[in-house]
Amino acid sequence: MFLGGRIATNDATAVPNDMLVERVCNDKVRQQVYAAPNGEFSMQLGSRTDTVIDASAEPDSAVGLSRNHPTMMGVPRQDLRNCDLRTSASGFRTSVVSLAGNAGFDGAMDRIDVGTVVVQRTSKVEGTTLSAAPYRAPNNARKAYEKGMEDQKSGKLDDARRHYETAIKLYPKYESAWYRLGTVFQKQKDNDAARDAFMRATTINSRYMPAYLSLASMAFDAQNWTDVVKFSAHILEIDPLNHYTVTGYIVDLDPWNFAEAYFFNAAANYNLGKFEDAEQSALKAEHVDLRTQFPQLHLLLSKIYIHKKDYRNAIAQLQTYLELVPSAPDAGELREQLAQLEKLSDPATIR
């Protein structure tokens, strides 16, 4: 009897070469195999490899073998009810799937199929949201999508576009392909088509955050502040320091993404005259911007504090901005503004 299935990554990228699949029974490892490049794996139950793995045991000692069910005599199905499948690979979270109650146990068959096991990355892949949805796409759609990613990475935008369009034609609900197609349109300066593609991704999956971030970015560039607030607020419903799980989807955004969303939200609210909301979002952006990717955030905070006549904090934020961007095109004007703010503030409160 064989036990098998398929491994799929949650972002539809290739399964790594070191994806180990183990059958663990009563907390002991019984078998180990590596998944094939296409994600498929299979292990023969009751074979010579069906034994407890114990690095501390002597080579000839049959550690953990059942006297009633020796390895060459097969494995009773009921024994598998105490077993789990465990996957592990560098860059991925360990995943455990219980074999108890698996539909494959019903009826007479020589193979138990556990179906697709979706593994989650521990690190972010550029341009993706961690989602369990892409693996639902048929193989030919996934292959077209992967070819599109390869071509896009190589700068072959026309080829990438064709592959993404093929993936969408084969699987219209492929939100990742819609999103990627939008990024290609952006690079080709077709903003209308890019916006439509991003909107299609959000229509398919309202939790697909990269599409919302791209829409917020495009609205920011167009100074459409109402849309910036709308799209960024959708992202900020999620706690930036934790995963958010809903109906099979896992959204995992890098803190940098949340800093960007908070910055967009702050800038839009400032331009809409909602200064309290702007300050709150800007301070949250400052909190999660661990890599100081947005020096302009400090310039925005200085403007907010100037509006509030909080000159001490305005000075501190403006000083931070000038330290991060000493050669800014308007650095001279900003230093003059800094000198004026110092005159307006109480000298006793300035360090």
Domain spans in the chain, listed from the N-terminal domain onward: 2-119, 138-201, 295-351
- Tell me the pLDDT tens digit for each residue of 141-174: 999 999 999 999 999 999 999 999 999 999 999 9
Radius of gyration of the chain, Cα coordinates, nearest whole angstrom: 27
Please tell me the pTM assigned to this model: 0.58
Q: Give the CATH H-level superfamily of domain 2-119.
A: Immunoglobulins (2.60.40.10)
Q: Are 183 and 175 in contact (CB under 8 A)?
A: no
CA separation for the pair 202, 55 (Å, rounded): 50
pLDDT of residue 47: 56
User: What pLDDT score was predicted for residue 107?
Assistant: 43
Q: pLDDT digits over 31-56, tens only?
A: 888 888 778 888 887 654 455 443 33
Residue 14's pLDDT is 77
Statement: residue 76 has pLDDT above 90: no
Half-sphere CA count of 236, side-chain side, radius 13 A: 22
What b/e sequence results for 145-178 when a residue is b if at least 16 CB atoms lie within 10 Å of its CB, and e otherwise? bebbbebbeeebbebbbbbbebbbebbebbbbbb
pLDDT band at 225 (very low <50, low <70, confident <90, very high): very high
Q: Is the pLDDT of residue 176 over 60?
A: yes
CATH architecture of 138-201: Alpha Horseshoe (1.25)
**Alpha carbons 30 and 200: distance in angstroms, whole number:** 46
Q: Three-state DSSP class for 283?
A: helix
Question: 20 has which bridge partners?
Answer: 34, 88
pLDDT digits over 227-281, tens only? 999 999 988 876 443 333 333 333 444 545 678 889 999 999 999 999 999 999 9
The mean pLDDT value for 308-329 works out to: 91
- Residue 310: C-alpha distances to residues 104, 279, 285, 303, 322 (Å): 68, 12, 19, 10, 19
Q: How confident is the model at residue 130 (pLDDT cuts 50, 70, 90)?
A: very low
Using alpha carbons, list the distances in angstroms from residue 14 to 37, 157, 187: 7, 21, 25
Tokens at residue 324, please? 């991060």
E-assigned strand segments in 195-348: 244-246, 249-251
Q: What is the percent of the chain with per-residue pLDDT over 70, rounded to a whole number?
A: 75
The answer to whether the CB of 202 falls within 8 A of the CB of 173 is no
Report the interhelical angle of 175-187 vs 157-170 (nearest 10°). Answer: 150
